[in-house]
Structure 1
Amino acid sequence: MSGIDWLVIGLYFVGLLVVGVLFARRNTSASEMFVAGRSSPWWLSGVSAYMTMFSAGTFVVWGGITYEFGMVGPIICAVYGIAAFLAGRFFAGRWHDTGLSTAAEFVQLRFSKGAFNFYTIYRGLYLTVHGLSLYALAVMLCPLMPLEEGHFLRDAATGNLSVDWACTILALIVITYTMIGGLWAVLMTDMIQFIVLSACVIVVVPLILKLGGSVEQIAANSPEGFFLPTAPGFTWFFLVGWMLVNCFQLGAEWHFIQRHLCVPSAKDARKAMNLFGWLYLVTPFLWMAPPLIYRSINGDADPQESYILACKAVLPAGLIGLMVAAMFSATASSLSSIMNMFAGVLTDDVYRKRIRPHATEAESVKVGRIFTLLIGVYMLAGALILPRLGNYRDIVILVGSLIGSSVLLPTLWALFSKRVGKEVVWWTLFGGIGVSLVYKFGFKEGGWFEGIAAFSGLMEFIATYSRESDLVVGVMAPLVILLIAELRAKSDSERALRLQEAIATASQEGLTLPAEASRLPLQVLTWSFGILSGGMFILILFSRKDWATLSAMGLLLGTLCALFIYLQTKLASKDVSSDEDATRFSQS
């Protein structure tokens, strides 16, 4: 990377910290810090949820799959869009209508303190897996960062920045702005990096197409079957199962529930998920175009590095730095969301309810920031340790397929059913995970039942359709257990009735009444468009040969800035008219 690239990265990081400081003033209470005072605009919540999902290893996992297997990569990503539509239809509004502050509060009221403790501990342990996003990012960025011999950050084997040091530095940046700005900073940085990533990819796609030659040349230089919608190990059956797993995730993962709760109304929660769905249904074919086309240019690249290598091959000076910074911010999105969510659980549901019931709001905000720091350090440990235990892509897919549904489904089932009791959590968790473990260690290659003639046909089928089998076992085992529990129940659960009373009380106290969406995110977004537009024109001074590309992006961003200024002017005029009408009404 050139000096201008490093300058762009530095300025980008400063911008993230500025956003954190700007929204720090709003964090006067735990509600503001962890659910944005329920006043986040629906479009901001939707884009933030999109980027939170997008960030979880997209460039390494799905970018690598796209480079290796072809069109199936963006198809898998587009499946998230269908999952989001289903989650918006069935789960988003229902979560908002509970009026609760966290998903953990629902678990405690609907099931028991024991279930709450288990979920909290389990999710605490699982935070280390989320830390793998840091590792994924470092794997991409370190090849771009050669260091001179003897530098203490240098990896002697590669001559580049050490992956471990990169993880540590990146973690410190994420922890800092998440601690300062709370959920507001998380939401806004998600939106900003969505804009920056979109701008960079829009530049990359035509340039990589030009480098690859004509469409016929790209197709001829790609492997056979590269543009088919499925591939070995990624069949239509896998895609349907993956859609169901991720629908459950969007409906029951605590950091996505946070997005359902932080908007003013249930209608806004559904609109946010629908926006998420449309974005994920369309944009993967744009995001994944660079590694898809790069395969025809260089067929010998490491799949995990293919995305950044494709960008490096065509981007002008300055934009490489901006792309690297945006990739960092995208990956940081999932981490900051999870840090903020889990810090909220520990602050609201542990510290304020069990340790210091009379804690002030200022004290709660301070404790929340301490929890954010500790969680960030813990996730960093996962980034440094887990990659040594296996392939990152395999870890992500295996955990999601085998374990995810057993953890998520009891909460979703109880969101609709009044009949299942607190014991169903344990039946589903231990029964579902137990079945998955027997399947994983008994029927896989080299498992307990290898060599037993009665199981040979089944084991051969599992070996052929490994990922599909993972999904069937991971989804069907907990579903069957929950269905049996539902059919055996003779009456409504006492816990379900107690939860209804709590929701009714919250509604009477006005806790679930719609608030007005904040206008501050719109103002920050307008400034971001303006600054990025100016930055594109400044980069022309350092990369004159790419002046046309940079000018086009500068004009596009500048036009968006002007449109948002006009929109804010119209909204302000509408507010003035409403105030005048209210004044005339009161005087009459």
Structure 2
Amino acid sequence: MILAPIDWAIIGAYLLFSLLIGVWVMRKAGKNSEQFFAAGKNMPWWLLGISMVATTFSTDTPNLVANIVRTDGVSGNWVWWAFLLTGMLTVFVYANLWKRSGVLTDVEFYELRYSGKMAAFLRGFRAVYLGFIFNVVVMATVSLAAIKISGVLMGLSPVETVVIGGLVTVIYSSLGGLRGVLLTDFFQFFLALGGSLIAAYVALNHPEVGGLSGLLEHKEVVSKLNILPDFSDPSQAIGIFIIPLVIQWWSVYYPGAEPGGGGYIAQRMFAAKDENNSIAAVFFFNAAHYALRPWPWIIVGLCSIIVFPEVADLKEAFPDASGVADHDMGYPAMLTFIPTGWLGLVVASLTAAYMSTISTHLNWGSSYLVNDFYKRFIRPDSSEKELVTVGRISTVILMIVAGALALLLQNALDSFQIILQIGAGTGLLFILRWFWWRINAGSEIAAMFIAFAVALYFQFAHAHTGLPEVTGWQELIIGVIVTTIGWLSVTFMTRPTDYKTLVNFCEAARPGGPGWQNVINRAKEKGEDLEPLEDEAWRVPQGLLCMVLGCIAVYGALFATGYWIYGKWILASIITVVALVSSGLLYKAWRKLIKIRPDEELFDEE
């Protein structure tokens, strides 16, 4: 596929625009580490929310969705749609807690919540593990998708793709910090969304597809259209629907959908100007991520089934990319039919998707390495200028390592499953640690290592044990059970967090609830005045109500859109009404939640 000069001009203009933003905000971003990693903690909800959406709209996302649609049909998307429950829990229960905590990164949280050498070890280890190892794997997966797309559309080799895309991204990320990332994300969001709509329109108008009616009536596509799985096939229903909705959403750590919040989602919450902006930003992200974006990707994936039914067809059509061809290449393959000019815009949109995700992960990972490892353990007395310099250097190193790893990967869906398995069983701990005083640093260390060990076992050792083979969802359940039993056992076998640390955490985050009653009772026995903690209104019950209503509203919008596309007018109308009613009820419940405010003056007086 050879791009015309106008296509290259559009792509080049976008790359130059991104670089200029980095240069424009360079001076402000370089003032101190809070500016570089948290944009001064004064950002509005709409900019943060759009940035979250842009970050999760990466080059590997439409590839992943196309892979799922081609292999498991539309209903296969429940493996990630289920994470909406996690997102809404974060919105209405955890967003305000993260903002109150006052930390710069979610890894810094460990020494706010836990005490002693184990807490320090946990902070340092997680900084390196998440900021470098885990983060590099995610960026490599994203880069793999960029390799496949550029190989199909631009004829670039994997090395050329990694060098060109990585170079531009690392320059503006290292110069502009989080502020530069947020501003480029704002434009990248609209460009990427527009590109996906163009891709869906062109795919539908392919001669072999024959428009929307031709797509929906094609014999190879009809069986793939169901939004809910075929419950007559228990293995499919369990694997792609029941397990994700019943177990996966609360038990698995996955970037962008961490139970209890975390990662770059938490980073955006820290950057918000106040709690309300933090909550609104995460809500906008979840609504747009699950209800606004999926259908253009799904349509392109369905069209690719008609044009390229098998992987062999993809390899034959694109011999230069045959070495990495798989079902996830169905999406970029359909983009080759986009006409000149429009193609340049779509490629620029995919470039934007790639850069938005990589830039976020670069800044997020660098924040861990600088704030929670270098500053905490290497040079505690380092100046703000030094921290920014180290942040820029670590940004470059992360990009180099991620690019090298990307050249070794093969499939986006495989990487998705590996990441899920590595985090299996840790999610419940991340949810409970805010509301149960007994969880300590040992609990988190145990959960982390046990989950990783189980993942390694299934990835490399299980096939050689002679034991029966297990499916992906069975691996997930086993991982959750083993990891949960492990960290709960360690919790009760190790000493609790220091009492003073628990009190300080309660005063900072004010989580409330019966899980902290033990701490309040101990304070009474000591004759200490903790009335502000005892009188704190517990927001969780109202937050859970908002979570349920939010899920109904967003799922309703997602399904209604699908049924309108399918031409099922009655069902679409009913679901649309449900979505609108639940949205109205959510508005009222949300207003009540906001009124459940802590008495700030009590804490100020103390």
Normalising by structure 1, what TM-score?
0.73
Shift of 1:289: 1.7
Is 1:69 equivalent to 2:72 in the alignment?
A: yes
Shift of 1:263: 0.4
Q: Which of 173, 176, 179 in structure 1 is aligned with 2:171?
A: 176
Q: Secondary structure at the match of 1:251?
A: coil
Rounded Cα–Cα distance in structure 1 between residues aligned with 2:104 and 2:78: 35
Question: Retained in 2: the 8 A contact 1:53–1:334?
Answer: yes
Partner residue of 2:540?
A: none
**Counterpart mapping for 1:138-157 below 5 A:** 138-145=147-154
Shift of 1:399: 2.3
Rounded Cα–Cα distance in structure 1 between residues aligned with 2:156 and 2:335: 19
Shift of 1:205: 2.8
Q: Secondary structure at the match of 2:28?
A: coil
- Higher mean alpha-carbon deviation, 211-220 vs 492-501, is at 492-501
Partner residue of 1:278?
A: 287
Q: Residues 356 and 493 (structure 1 numbering): CA distance in 2 closer, same or farther, change over 3 Å?
A: closer
Shift of 1:47: 1.9
Rounded Cα–Cα distance in structure 2 between residues aligned with 1:335 and 1:250: 22
Rounded Cα–Cα distance in structure 1 between residues aligned with 2:332 and 2:108: 41
Partner residue of 2:464?
A: 447
- How many percent identity over aligned positions? 24
Shift of 1:13: 0.3
Question: Retained in 2: the 8 A contact 1:35–1:101?
Answer: yes
Question: Retained in 2: the 8 A contact 1:250–1:257?
Answer: no
Q: Residues 498 and 117 (structure 1 numbering): CA distance in 2 closer, same or farther, change over 3 Å?
A: farther
Q: Which of 262, 270, 288 in structure 2 is aligned with 1:261?
A: 270
Rounded Cα–Cα distance in structure 2 between residues aligned with 1:10 and 1:203: 20
Partner residue of 2:225?
A: 227
- CA-based RMSD of the aligned residues comes to 2.8
Shift of 1:504: 8.0
Shift of 1:437: 4.4
Question: Retained in 1: the 8 A contact 2:99–2:270?
Answer: yes
Rounded Cα–Cα distance in structure 2 between residues aligned with 1:89 and 1:192: 28
Structure 1 counterpart of 2:449, which letter? F
Partner residue of 1:156?
A: none
Is 1:308 equivalent to 2:318 in the alignment?
A: no
Q: Secondary structure at the match of 2:434?
A: helix
Q: Which of 5, 11, 20 in structure 1 is aligned with 2:13?
A: 11
Structure 2 counterpart of 1:360, which letter? S
Partner residue of 1:125?
A: 133
Partner residue of 1:433?
A: 452
Normalising by structure 2, what TM-score?
0.71
Shift of 1:435: 4.2
Partner residue of 2:161?
A: 166
Q: Residues 137 and 56 (structure 1 numbering): CA distance in 2 closer, same or farther, change over 3 Å?
A: closer
Rounded Cα–Cα distance in structure 1 between residues aligned with 2:257 and 2:334: 34
Q: Residues 272 and 128 (structure 1 numbering): CA distance in 2 closer, same or farther, change over 3 Å?
A: same
Rounded Cα–Cα distance in structure 2 between residues aligned with 1:416 and 1:484: 18
Shift of 1:4: 0.7
Q: Residues 20 and 286 (structure 1 numbering): CA distance in 2 closer, same or farther, change over 3 Å?
A: same
Question: Retained in 2: the 8 A contact 1:5–1:322?
Answer: yes
Q: Residues 51 and 416 (structure 1 numbering): CA distance in 2 closer, same or farther, change over 3 Å?
A: farther
Structure 1 counterpart of 2:220, which letter? S
Count residues in correspondence. 472
Q: Secondary structure at the match of 1:195?
A: helix
Q: Secondary structure at the match of 1:341?
A: helix
Structure 2 counterpart of 1:469, which letter? Q
Partner residue of 2:385?
A: 362
Q: Residues 378 and 108 (structure 1 numbering): CA distance in 2 closer, same or farther, change over 3 Å?
A: farther
- Higher mean alpha-carbon deviation, 491-500 vs 112-121, is at 491-500
Partner residue of 1:328?
A: 351
Unaligned stretches of 5+ in structure 2?
Answer: 315-325, 511-606
Q: Which of 313, 321, 340 in structure 1 is aligned with 2:363?
A: 340
Partner residue of 1:518?
A: none
Post-superposition CA distance 1:514-565 (Å, at most 9, x none): xxxxxxxxxxxxxxxxxxxxxxxxxxxxxxxxxxxxxxxxxxxxxxxxxxxx
Rounded Cα–Cα distance in structure 1 between residues aligned with 2:113 and 2:59: 30
Post-superposition CA distance 1:393-434 (Å, at most 9, x none): 21221221x211455554443233221222212322233434
Partner residue of 2:113?
A: 110
Post-superposition CA distance 1:59-94 (Å, at most 9, x none): 322222223333135544433434311221222221
Partner residue of 2:214?
A: 217
Is 1:293 equivalent to 2:316 in the alignment?
A: no
Partner residue of 2:403?
A: 380
Structure 1 counterpart of 2:275, which letter? A
Question: Retained in 1: the 8 A contact 2:443–2:487?
Answer: yes
Post-superposition CA distance 1:24-70 (Å, at most 9, x none): 23211211110111111112212222222232721322222223333
- Higher mean alpha-carbon deviation, 79-88 vs 130-139, is at 79-88
Rounded Cα–Cα distance in structure 2 between residues aligned with 1:49 and 1:342: 16
Rounded Cα–Cα distance in structure 2 between residues aligned with 1:237 and 1:30: 44
Q: Residues 424 and 499 (structure 1 numbering): CA distance in 2 closer, same or farther, change over 3 Å?
A: farther
Partner residue of 2:533?
A: none
Post-superposition CA distance 1:162-216 (Å, at most 9, x none): 1122112211111111001110111122221110122222333333323322544
Q: Residues 249 and 495 (structure 1 numbering): CA distance in 2 closer, same or farther, change over 3 Å?
A: farther
Shift of 1:104: 1.8
